[in-house]
Structure 1
Amino acid sequence: MSGRSDVAAPEAAAQTPQPSAPPAFVPVPWPRAVGYFVTAATLVLAQGFGQAVITSNIQQLQGSFGATQAETSWMVAAYMAPNVSLTIALIKIRAQYGLRNFAELSILAFLLAALLNYLADGLWSNLAVRFVSGMAAAPLTSLGFLYMLEPLPPAKKLTVGLSAVLTFIFLASPLTRLVSPHLLEMGQWHGLTAFEASIAAIGFGLIYLFPLKSPPRVKVIESADVISFLLIAVGFGALAVSFTLGSTYWWFEQPWLGVLLAIAAGTLPLAAAIELNRKSPLLDIRWLFSPTILHFAATLLFFRLMLSEQTSGAAGLFSALGYLNDQTQMVWVVVAVTTVVAGVVCAVTLRPQRVQQFHVIALCLLIVASYMDSQSTAQIAPSQMYLSQAMISLASAFFLLPAMMTGMLSALSRGPQYILNFIVVFISTQKIGAVLGSALFGTFVKSRQKLHMSRLYEALPATDPLVTGQISTYGAAYSGYIADPAQLAAQSAATLARQASTQASVMAYNDAFLGIAALSTAALALLLGHIALDAWRARRAAAHEPASAEAGPANSSSPQAA
């Protein structure tokens, strides 16, 4: 019997299906590889331009739409509402319809949405077009990742590939601010949309010239996927709209903001409950809520909030001081150049064992840069922020690129099919983090501005000789073209009030910058404590190994002695 069982065991093992090995890498000729890289850059920059174009030009576009700043902000909300969630649809659509077909249809939809801008006239029709554009642009970043990784050998995917694609993601916002003034001169809003349509047309041609390899198609979409996705889309869309507009309309003054947050609080847990009880879920909730992925997502979200120092902080401060994009262009040139430098450094030097060192450097850079910006005055010029903004650009790359590598390694350990799931997690945290960071930063600045404004008014009574002297100075400046004494006094007082408002804004931004420096310092302390704890555990484990090795021979020799 034992002999038969011994023979049967190998036979049973031989009959057990083994997971198929990944296909061997086939080198791609370098001209074709360059084509894939250009396609990746085009797709990522196209999506980034569409996401940043309204925020970067909101003051200039109010005239084009004949709307207030609050009404123009709805353009951002309309774009982000579908954009933050539709990336999730890529997971199963790719498997069922093929990645190549999905890529071709996605870029075609994006091109058609860009062309729809020429038919829109007025704010409300443009809102509808931006909603469609947000839907069409949602898959582009994921496709950009896949195009960048496609021609690279496995050894380069986690270093060169990730560094390159994230560098282009970081470049989208500063490049949008660089090209916007020239496009606005050409045709205001339609100058911007013409550029968006041009990028879409280029991407359309590139995707057909350089198709992605598609794995065998599998029918995986179920009716429950539609229900889950609709719940996720409604929840994420409600969050995106409320975060985008909350600080503008103010959280406690508009009941519909609370309704949106309540909708998100109801739909997202319901979607998670449905997914947990499915055999083939749209999202692997258990994997997403595993300690490794939760830590990864929380880390990305936290640092994305800290990076609002640049996207919302520096840009907002320039706007409060009256600077337009054409007056701050050199700041964004510096940001773009340092982003490229940081990407190259990461591509050359980044390794899995160096992740913590990169994170320490990133947090140190963020602390110093935020503290430098917290010393701003109402007379600060954009040139005085070159160094701090360059440091924040370096910090962005030095933190997010290593974190991305760590997450990708975790996904690869589960199997190649989890790579796309991981990319979706990364993109979703970045998009949600961007709107959440902007909301928190804007809310904090607005509340601190009101506080500083009230304190300044208390410190500037109308009977104060300094106040009356300053009003007299303004009156002397305006007396040449205002003859009415009452109008002259009112204009002088209004000028002083504007100066006080500007000063209150600068003080509020300084408080926000200092808060980011403090939070980054706390994060650095926690990280250093974690590194020290890991080192102590490693030394303790190393100390126990010799003792175990000595005890082993002693125990084995004792029976012989007996």
Structure 2
Amino acid sequence: MLPSRAISGLALAVLTASFGTSAANISLPALVDSFDSRPSEVQWVVVAYLLGMTAASVTVGALGDRVGRRRALRAGTLLFLVAAVVSATATTLPVLVLARAVQGVAAAIMTALPIALARDLTADGRTGRAMGLLGTTSAVGTALGPAAGGILVEWGGWMAPFWAMLPLGALALMMLVPRDLLVADASDRPRRPFDGIGATLLSAGIAAYALALAAPTPGWPVLPLLGVAAALLAATVMAERRAASPVLPLAELRSGPVVAGVIGNLLVAAVMMTTLVVGPFALHDGLGLPVAVAGLVMTVGPVTAAISGVVAGRVVDRTSSPALTTCALALVTVGAVGLALLPGVWGVPGYIAALIVLTPGYQLFLAATNTRVLSGAAPVRRGAVAGVLALARNLGLVTGASAMGSLFLALRGSEAAPSAVLDAMRATFLVAAVLAAVATAASVVLARSAGPTAPRPPVTRRERPARSRTRR
């Protein structure tokens, strides 16, 4: 059986971070009025959170390996709560933006480390269920954010969603103290200095990339920021090759399943973000739905994800074949093609039908990939590997929101006619289908190169702990 209280605490931490990601978006119009600011300025409330979460993904995973994943998760949850209080009581927009950036770092801890801890706490035949549950709670938190956030803003103003994060986070914090997690924290950890240079270079490079793509204003220096990101990431790789305890798990990144997981997480997350960016325009401007009805239709995706996540975990536990990941990616590809073609034929029912195909494929992909990759990773590096997967997913979300959103708006042009919107939607989702197909092909090729099962990357002399007391 799964250690229910421990897994429930991990799931609630993921739900709280997901709620924090989406709940603040609904507050943006109220923030414009409250702080007498422009929309491009208040958008930094969302961008800062995304930047903090993305830049810290790998570093917090490696830090968890160093100090203990449970301890790091509890500290991250507490930091999230403190940042929520500062956000809710902020009297100026810069203070709110800074608090949201800190909260994003905390959210990185609350989304990366539960995956690694879930693998630590479950037997091989039960890991898929734990991963499916985490995927379900992530979807529930994402869906709950806009729905509950809108009601909260109407009731208590823009600060109400931030206050609502406190009971969720506090309950998660109380549930992260069972004996199971204490045992997991007692697993052998390397006793070497934390790689501060590598962590700084990597976080700065990721932040530059995310900042370039999450540009909230016209004329943003995208190309210079991308150049800075490339230079910093190259410097990171050079530094990590000489580091005694690299924050970036270079040895694991040579593994076929890990590379396939990184590629798949990045591309599939971009596809899923496309549904959130293009969906409102397609449903409202293209298919003529009122805003409230369009919002209800869009909840089909998260609701389907919440239902299918647990089922996906059970399927993964029954079969660990690499073909399961490929089948999941194929479903995502078919769903993206359906979003491109079916609304033009069947209207809203066609859009819903495509979501019902796409979303379970996404949940099955997450459960299968996380289970396979983390089962093959060395126990002392699971936090860092989980951080890499979270980083790929966050970069995919940023890339999807920026690149795919810009593509849709460019294809639509200045035309607001329903036919122009539907044509732009069709072309954008076909591009999304190509991304999913590339992820599928990468999964097939890398699975073949890796063999039938996910091998555990060897622990090098530098990475081997002085004394091995790992609990299996």
TM-score range, shorter chain: 0.7 to 0.9
**Counterpart in 1 of 2:155?**
186
C-alpha contact 1:78 1:127 (8 A) present in aligned 2:
yes
Counterpart residue type for residue 280 of structure 1: S
Counterpart residue type for residue 314 of structure 1: G
Shift of 1:128: 1.5
Q: Secondary structure at the match of 1:352?
A: coil
Match of residue 62, structure 1, among 29, 32, 41: 32
Shift of 1:520: 4.5
Q: Deviations over 1:178-209 (max 9, x none)?
A: 22221121123111111122222222222245
**Counterpart in 1 of 2:296?**
330
Shift of 1:130: 0.9
Unaligned runs of 5+ in 1: 1-26, 457-498, 539-562
C-alpha contact 1:180 1:325 (8 A) present in aligned 2:
no
Shift of 1:444: 0.4
**Counterpart in 2 of 1:394?**
360
Matches of 2:109 and 2:437, distance apart in 1: 36
Q: Is 1:220 matched up with 2:192?
A: yes
**Counterpart in 2 of 1:299?**
264
Shift of 1:269: 0.8
Shift of 1:398: 2.9
Q: Deviations over 1:289-323 (max 9, x none)?
A: 44443233122222222223322221343565797
**Counterpart in 1 of 2:456?**
none
Q: Deviations over 1:385-412 (max 9, x none)?
A: 332322221221133332333323432x
Structure 2 CA distance for partners of 1:324 and 1:107, relative to 1, 3 Å: farther
Q: Give the structure-2-normalised TM-score.
A: 0.82
Shift of 1:106: 1.8
Q: Is 1:205 matched up with 2:174?
A: yes
Structure 2 CA distance for partners of 1:293 and 1:148, relative to 1, 3 Å: closer
Q: Secondary structure at the match of 1:417?
A: helix
C-alpha contact 2:45 2:96 (8 A) present in aligned 1:
yes
Aligned residues: 442
Shift of 1:145: 2.1
> What CA RMSD, in Å, does the superposition of the two structures yield over aligned residues?
3.2
C-alpha contact 2:339 2:426 (8 A) present in aligned 1:
no
Q: Is 1:46 matched up with 2:5?
A: no
Matches of 1:523 and 1:298, distance apart in 2: 6
Match of residue 345, structure 1, among 311, 325, 331: 311
Identity in percent: 19
Structure 2 CA distance for partners of 1:522 and 1:293, relative to 1, 3 Å: closer
> Matches of residues 242-281 of structure 1 in structure 2 within 5 Å?
242-245=212-215, 248-250=216-218, 253-254=219-220, 256-281=221-246
**Counterpart in 2 of 1:513?**
429
> Matches of residues 301-316 of structure 1 in structure 2 within 5 Å?
301-316=266-281
Matches of 2:408 and 2:43, distance apart in 1: 17
Matches of 1:420 and 1:129, distance apart in 2: 25
Match of residue 430, structure 1, among 393, 409, 417: 393
Matches of 1:371 and 1:399, distance apart in 2: 23
Match of residue 364, structure 1, among 304, 325, 334: 334
Structure 2 CA distance for partners of 1:445 and 1:60, relative to 1, 3 Å: farther
Shift of 1:268: 1.0
State the structure with bigger RCO (CA 8 A, min sep 6), 1 or 2. Answer: 2
Structure 2 CA distance for partners of 1:506 and 1:86, relative to 1, 3 Å: same
CA radius of gyration, larger in: 1
Q: Is 1:135 matched up with 2:105?
A: yes
Matches of 1:523 and 1:102, distance apart in 2: 32
Counterpart residue type for residue 139 of structure 1: I
Q: Deviations over 1:318-369 (max 9, x none)?
A: 5657978744443244323321332233223231224133433343233223
**Counterpart in 2 of 1:195?**
164
Unaligned runs of 5+ in 2: 453-472
Shift of 1:152: 3.1
Matches of 2:432 and 2:70, distance apart in 1: 43
Counterpart residue type for residue 510 of structure 1: R
Matches of 2:345 and 2:100, distance apart in 1: 38
Q: Give the structure-1-normalised TM-score.
A: 0.70
**Counterpart in 2 of 1:162?**
131
**Counterpart in 2 of 1:288?**
253
Matches of 2:250 and 2:117, distance apart in 1: 27
Q: Is 1:404 matched up with 2:404?
A: no
C-alpha contact 1:80 1:134 (8 A) present in aligned 2:
yes
Matches of 1:522 and 1:291, distance apart in 2: 15
Structure 2 CA distance for partners of 1:442 and 1:309, relative to 1, 3 Å: closer
